[in-house]
A and B are shown apart, each in its own frame.
Chain A
Amino acid sequence: MKKFAQNLGHGFMSFLRYSGGMAILMGQTLFWIPVPPFRRKQLFEQMSKIGVDSLPIVSLISLFTGMVLALQSAYQMKKFSAEMYIASLVAVSMLRELGPVLTALIVAGRVGASITAEIGTMKVTEQIDALETLATNPVKYLVVPRFLALILMLPLLTAYADLVGIIGGYIIGVYKLGISHGMYMKNTWQPLRYKDFYTGLMKSFFFGVITCIVACYEGMNADGGAEGVGRSTTASVVTSFILIIASDCFFTALFYFIAK
């Protein structure tokens, strides 16, 4: 019993340390963003790495998701002869939910892991210490460009994924299920509200914040050589996934109640 209480206390303390550490990193990042010098070259480099290089995989996954959504719902909708509403279903679910969440998960897996591995390797090979001895703040130098790149590029990627998903649905709807072009387009645009679009983008903005802070925090706290970096990378991806899904649930509920 005593052991159980000890473990519980220990677990709770490490949870507090972990979330506190991330909150501190978040605060430091926000503090350093407006402080010059601004590293435009590094920002563009990161934006290209995070955004442009993610385009192929984001295209592929959203296209297939749009197609699968259309196919799966066709199976049900056929029973009510309501196939033309597939267009609305694909559009709304892509914009509100699948676009932001899928893109965030792809980016957390692809970019989050590489950020943690890169910063973690810098940590264990003392490059972070070297930065500090050269009077350069590691948060300013490493975290800020990645943070800005992620919160700019993730919403853009999400908007792109929304569009590609709708195209995927269109391909199935028009070429496989025989809905006319006019009908499909009409049913895509008609049910959409601005809110569907911007709540999705707001979510993806926060997913960007989560991915960056978790990835950088795990990287900066890596220790124990190559094995430690591997461990941190796994932890970074798993934690980002959990936090993205949990906060998605939270934001969906929030938008449901405050912006009816």
Chain B
Amino acid sequence: MIEIINLCKAFGGHQVLNNLNLTINTGETTVIIGRSGCGKSVLLKNIIGLLKPDSGQVIVDGKDVTNMDDKELNTLRLRFGMLFQGAALFDSLNVLENIAFHMIEHLNSPRAEIDKRVKECLALVGLKGIETKKPAELSGGMRKRVGLARAICVRPSIMLYDEPTTGVDPITGDAVNDLILELHNKLKVTSIAVTHDMTSAYKIADRMAMLYKGKIIATGTPDEFKNTKDPIVRQFITGASKGPITEGIDFEHLI
């Protein structure tokens, strides 16, 4: 279980997360929705300890991430797999070295074992035979898949997805959704995804949460979200330009 308690984070005087509280249950896929730039990625980075919060706690299975030393943090991080928005593959390494990065760097695994594991991970994301390619030679969708393969190579118990379907075409996007669902069912991992793609959110979520002005303003199942009465959530999930979120903002100049 992951508990986020009163989390605050500001950048240069701008309060991005403001006393945020959220509980994520083990084995569930929680999707956090919110507008671009509202702090979704910041929240994910706080969970995995890439950013230190100004105050508040992130408790993963009883341990507080925010005051861990480097060693504890590294052990914890290997229980996480993270898919970055742009996949964040290492340009200088080929696909095999990317996927098996942690096996090569930390475990000194024998070559045969690495080859086998990379094949397995690539097969899980529906790819094969691209081990010697460099990330620059891959398409956006393939990069996302390789990023996913790298994330699952460490056999994580918690998966974090930062906008998994952004930047890929709708069909590839749906394939990524299927992958997330499949991984969830096969590997029984706890997943947290942040996105503003509602199709994706409805498809993969067991539970949803909406982040607005630095706080979680609503949580519930996808069905509860679809039938919500909350005007803010309503505006977001229907994608209306007029409503409480955009009150006072004039979009006329865009037309």
Contact = CB atoms under 8 A, between A and B. Distances in A.
B77 A129 contact: no
Nearest to B75: A135
Contacts of A127: 88-91
Interface stretch (B78-86, B121-129, B221-229): B78-86
A254 interface: no
Nearest to A121: B91
Interface of A is mostly: helix
Contacts of A134: 77-78, 101-102, 105, 150, 154
Nearest to A133: B82
B33 to A, nearest CB: 21
A121 B90 CA distance: 11
A136 interface: yes
B155 interface: no
Contact of A129 (B45, B91, B102, B105): B45
Interface residues of A, number: 16
Contacts of B91: 121-122, 127
A174 B12 CA distance: 64
B46 to A, nearest CB: 12
A130 B48 CA distance: 11
A77 B107 CA distance: 67
A135 B50 CA distance: 11
Interface in B44-64: 45, 48, 50
A197 B91 CA distance: 40
Contacts of A141: 105
Contacts of A132: 50, 77
A135 B74 contact: yes
Contacts of A53: none
A137 to B, nearest CB: 8
B106 interface: yes
Interface residues on B, range: 20 to 34
A130 B90 contact: yes
A133 B82 CA distance: 7
B85 A133 contact: no
A132 B102 CA distance: 11
A152 B129 CA distance: 40
Interface string A132-175: 11111100010000000000000000000000000000000000
Nearest to A126: B88
Interface in B82-121: 82, 84-86, 88-91, 101-102, 105-106
B86 A125 contact: yes
Nearest to A131: B90
Contacts of B150: 134
Interface string B143-161: 0000000100010000000
Contacts of B105: 37, 134, 136, 141
A129 B101 contact: no
Nearest to B92: A118
Nearest to A42: B92
A135 B77 contact: yes
B86 A133 contact: no
B77 A130 contact: no
Given A133-B48, A134-B77, 14 more contacts: A121-B91, A122-B90, A122-B91, A125-B88, A126-B84, A126-B85, A126-B88, A127-B88, A129-B50, A133-B80, A133-B82, A134-B78, A134-B101, A134-B150
Interface of A: 37, 121-122, 125-127, 129-137, 141
16 contacts: A37-B105, A121-B91, A122-B90, A122-B91, A125-B86, A125-B88, A126-B85, A127-B91, A130-B89, A130-B90, A133-B48, A133-B82, A134-B105, A135-B77, A135-B102, A141-B105
Closest 8 CB pairs of A and B: A135-B74, A130-B88, A126-B88, A126-B84, A133-B82, A134-B102, A127-B88, A135-B77
